[in-house]
Structures are given as C-alpha cells and as structure tokens.
C-alpha cells in the first residue's frame, strides 16, 4: 500500500474512534504489542531526536533507527517500543500525519516486531541499547505516578471526543434551524406573492365593473 494512503487510512480510523468515543477501538487488536512503526523521518535525525519527539507520550524502552549497513546513514524509518502499551495509542493518534522538519510522519502500530539480532558490526553501545533499552531505572513510586498520568491523558482524550460529539450535535441542530428559517421565509414570500396576485385580480375586477356600470348608464341615457 502507498505510504501516504496508509497514513491517511490511520487518520480516518483515529477520527472514527473520536466519533465513537473510544469504544470497540481499532487499537484493541494491537493491545499485546508496545511497538510502533515510524516512517517518513528526515534522514538527518538521530535516535536522540526521535526520543525527544516520541517520549512526550510515554517512557520509551527501545528504539531501532534503521540505518544502511554500509554507510551508517538513516533510512528514514524506525521502530519504537514503549514501557506502557497504552502509550502507543496516544503516539499513533497524535503523531501520525504531523509535519517534522518539512516531512510528513507515518506512525502506526506493529503487531509482531522482533529487534534485530547482533551482528559483528554492531558496536557495544547499540548492543547495550537493544538489550536493556534506553529508559532510565524506575524509582519507587514513579512507575505508579507515570501510569496514573497516562490514564488521565487517555480519559481527557475520551472527554475531548465526547465534547466534539456535542459540538457536532449543536452544529447539526443549528443547521436544521437555519434550514427551517429558510423554508419559513420562502413560505412567507410565496404568501406575499399570492396576496399581491389576489389584490391585482380584485383591482382588475373593480375596473371592469366600473366600466360595465358606465356602459349601462350610457345606454340608459340614450334610450331616454
């Protein structure tokens, strides 16, 4: 499938979720995977740059920015793993389709992803990153706080979707009211036209009657 078409399809699915209020979400089929795919990345971005953008929606524990084996240059796409699977929902809904350094990102879930195996050319730093991830150690109480924050964000997102539905309902009611007003105005215009035609007919009838009376009087005078 064309990358841009895939990106637009994901956007449509997210908009559909907003209308339905998050019930029976398409995200549910990826509930067992904490990985996402990110395409359309500017080639000059590093792993650190990717972390800065995507860590706003949750703790990232692993990132694989795919590079050319010969040159080491980025190929413009990567795979990211979050500590909490629910962060993938926020990342896909909020970052798919955005512009980053002039390029449009494609962000989607990944059902089954396995990090690449070590090769002879893999340096120690990359090997360590693949093995333990890039997230800092979690202190006591911090994990629960982060989980609570994520749940709050998801709840706020659901509330925003509900508010959007109410806005659409009000907008629909306003449109219906406007249509009724237009129909009423058209009826009034037609009524005015009918009254005008009736008035003209009465005037013509009155003129004809006056002429008839004058004619009868004239005939009567002649007979006398």
Domain ranges of the chain: 3-137
Interstrand relation of 106-109 and 103-104 (parallel, antiparallel or unpaired): unpaired
Task: Please state the φ and ψ torsions of residue 178, each to the nearest 5 degrees.
Answer: -65, -40
What is the rounded distance in angstroms from the CA atom of residue 204 to the CA atom of residue 198?
10
**Distance (Å) of CA 201 to CA 81, 209, 212, 213:** 84, 12, 16, 18
HEC profile of the chain: CCHHHHHHHHHHHHHHHHHHCCCCCHHHHHCCCCEEEEECCCCCCCHHHHHHHHHHHCCEEEEEEEECCCCCCEEEEEEEEECCCHHHHHHHHHHCCCEECCEECEEEECCCCCCCCCCCCCCHHHHHHHHHCCCCCCCCCHHHHHHHHHHHHHHHHHHHHHHHHHHHHHHHHHHHHHHHHHHHHHHHHHHHHHHHHHHHHHHHHHHHHHHHHHHHHHHHHHHC
pTM of the predicted structure, to 2 decimals: 0.49
Domain 3-137 of CATH type 3.10.300.10: no
Place of tokens 């500017």: 42
Residue 77, pLDDT score: 96
Longest dimension (CA), the chain: 137
Residue 65, pLDDT score: 94
Residue 62, pLDDT score: 93
Residue 138, pLDDT score: 46
pLDDT along the chain (224 residues), means of 10: 61 62 72 93 94 94 93 94 92 91 92 74 59 50 61 64 60 70 78 81 83 79 70
Dihedral (Cα; 62, 68, 72, 76), 10-degree rounding:
-60
Residue 68, pLDDT score: 93
What is the rounded distance in angstroms from the CA atom of residue 85 to the CA atom of residue 120?
32
């Amino acid at each position: 499938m064309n990358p841009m078409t895939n990106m637009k399809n994901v956007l449509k699915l997210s908009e559909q979720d907003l209308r339905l209020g998050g019930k029976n979400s398409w995200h549910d089929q990826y509930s067992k995977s904490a990985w996402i795919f990110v395409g359309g990345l500017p080639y000059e971005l590093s792993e650190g740059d990717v972390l800065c953008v995507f860590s706003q929606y949750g703790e990232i524990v692993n990132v694989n920015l795919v590079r050319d084996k010969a040159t080491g240059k980025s190929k413009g796409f990567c795979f990211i793993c979050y500590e909490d699977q629910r962060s993938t929902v926020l990342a896909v809904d909020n970052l798919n389709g955005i512009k980053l350094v002039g390029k449009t990102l494609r962000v989607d879930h990944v059902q089954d992803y396995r990090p690449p195996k070590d090769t002879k050319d893999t340096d120690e730093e990359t090997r360590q990153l693949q093995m333990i991830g890039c997230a800092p150690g979690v202190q006591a109480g911090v994990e629960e706080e982060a989980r609570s924050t994520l749940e709050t964000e998801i709840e706020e997102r659901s509330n925003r979707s509900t508010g959007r539905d109410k806005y659409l309902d009000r907008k629909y009611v306003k449109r219906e009211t406007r249509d009724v007003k237009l129909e009423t105005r058209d009826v009034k215009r037609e009524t005015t036209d009918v009254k005008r035609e009736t008035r003209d007919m009465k005037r013509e009838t009155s003129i004809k009657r006056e002429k008839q009376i004058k004619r009868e009087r004239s005939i009567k005078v002649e007979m006398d």
